[in-house]
Amino acid sequence: MKGEYFYTDKDGFYGVYYKNPKPSDRGVILMLGDKADDLMVKMGVKWLHRNGCNVLACATESKDYSWHDQPIESFEKAIAVLRRKGNSKFGIIGASTTAMAALAAASYIPDITLTIALSPSDFVMEGFYRDEKDGARERPGNGESTLSYKGRPLPYLPYAYRHPEYWQKLKEEAERRGDMAAARDMFDLSEQLCPVTENMKIKVERIRGKLVLVGAQDDSLWDTCRYIDRMMERLRVTPHECRAAKLTYEYGSHFVFPQSMLETVLPFGSSLLLRFAFRTLKEHPKECRQTREDIDKQLRRIIKGW
């Protein structure tokens, strides 16, 4: 799959534009994983192409998937590229950390009229590094937010632990839960130590068009369904212009991807391979697959109506 590359030093953001083989005026910023051209991204690109969208896959340009002080302006520049490519509708999709970034970007950029957040938080997270310092796969930043705007870091929820205890605690929780990765206990403790304040919260009421919040109760990275409920309550009591859809499920893990998206690159073994990532996928494979199939149906319907 060929794409046109854009780089931060030259274009103001890092990404790859994948033009739909069929004519379309709908452009979607896609953020999956830590790159803009790996297998996971291409899985999402193929799925979005089938659903009638051009795709601009974006990521941080760091080689170690660090997220710290990523400028919201980079998404504005990405939208400008989509416009130059002939797109007149603009959407954004993120999963996990990038779901948070997608929500934040949409709250600042009114041109975005479709926002899909898979396993999001409702607050800005503290920045983090994955530079293997002292043997730790991940560590918190030093007073850094994940996101910035106009040169200033956005207020964020500090992690409960500092380096090197941070990575030690994440490893312990993952081992105890039997998951590839887990941080739910840490995020719960973080809120106990420093309750989320108004300035840390993502202003979802500023998002335009269609907003879709997707999550599962058995998510072991963080309590995304609680965060989604808080966003829905915020919209209930705050004037807003978006039309919000809440898609939450009992089972599904942190990987709440549409089933047919997974099958674009793993047509025969997607469900089997997923079981190695999170214990709930092994213990409740039927229910998790039903979740992914329903998400698939709902998102395809929403994108079609966009």
**Secondary element (H or E) of residue 79:** helix 73-84
Measured CA to CA, the distance from residue 75 to residue 59 in angstroms comes to: 10
180 occurs within a structural domain: no
Q: Report pLDDT for 271.
A: 56
Domain membership flag for residue 19: yes
Q: What pLDDT score does 273 carry?
A: 57
Q: Say if 169 falls within a structural domain.
A: no
User: What pLDDT, on the 0 to 100 scale, is given for residue 272?
Assistant: 52
**What angle (nearest 5°) sits at the alpha carbon of residue 183, between those of residues 244 and 200?**
50
What residues pair up with 211 in beta bridges, in sequence order? 115, 244
Residue 12, domain member (yes or no): yes
C-alpha–C-alpha distance, residues 74 and 264, integer Å? 29
Q: Please give the pLDDT value at position 275.
A: 62
| DSSP string over 178-194 | TSS---HHHHHHHHHHS
**Pairing label, strands 4-6, 15-18:** antiparallel
Contact 178, 279 (CB under 8 A): yes
Output the six-digit token pair for 138.
């991940």
First-to-last C-alpha distance (Å) of the chain? 26
CA-to-CA distance for 125 and 265, rounded, in angstroms? 31
Residues 6 or more apart whose CB falls under 8 angstroms from that of 165 comprise none
pLDDT tens per residue, the chain (306 residues)?
A: 899 999 999 999 999 999 999 999 999 999 997 788 888 899 999 999 999 999 999 998 766 678 899 999 999 999 999 999 999 999 999 999 999 999 999 999 999 999 999 999 999 999 999 999 999 999 999 889 999 999 999 999 999 999 999 999 999 999 999 999 999 999 999 999 999 999 999 999 999 999 999 999 999 999 999 999 999 999 999 999 899 999 999 999 999 999 999 988 664 445 555 666 899 999 999 999 999 999 999 999 999 999
Residue 248 maps to a domain = yes
| Domain membership of residue 67 as a residue range | 4-157+196-305
Residues whose CB falls within 8 Å of the CB of residue 61, separated by 6 or more in sequence, listed in order: 7, 8, 14
Looking at residue 71, its amino acid is: P
Nearest 5°: CA angle at 48, between 2 and 240?
130
176 within some domain: no
In a domain, 300, yes or no: yes
Number of domains forming the structure of the chain = 1
Query: What is the rounded CA–CA span in Å between residue 238 and residue 54?
Result: 33
* CATH number of the CATH domain containing 102: 3.40.50.1820
Q: Judge whether 223 and 124 are in contact, CB under 8 Å.
A: no
In sign, the C-alpha dihedral spanning 211, 159, 15, 216 is: negative
Kindly state the DSSP code that residue 37 receives in the 8-state scheme. S
Q: What's the rounded Cα separation, in Å, for the pair 248 and 118?
A: 10
Asked if residue 185 is part of any domain, the answer here is: no
**How far apart, in whole angstroms, are the C-alpha atoms of residue 193 and residue 191?**
5
pLDDT value of residue 64 = 66
Q: If you count them, how many residues does the chain have?
A: 306
CA dist 54 → 20, 255, 304 (Å): 5, 23, 14
Q: For 130, which DSSP code?
A: -
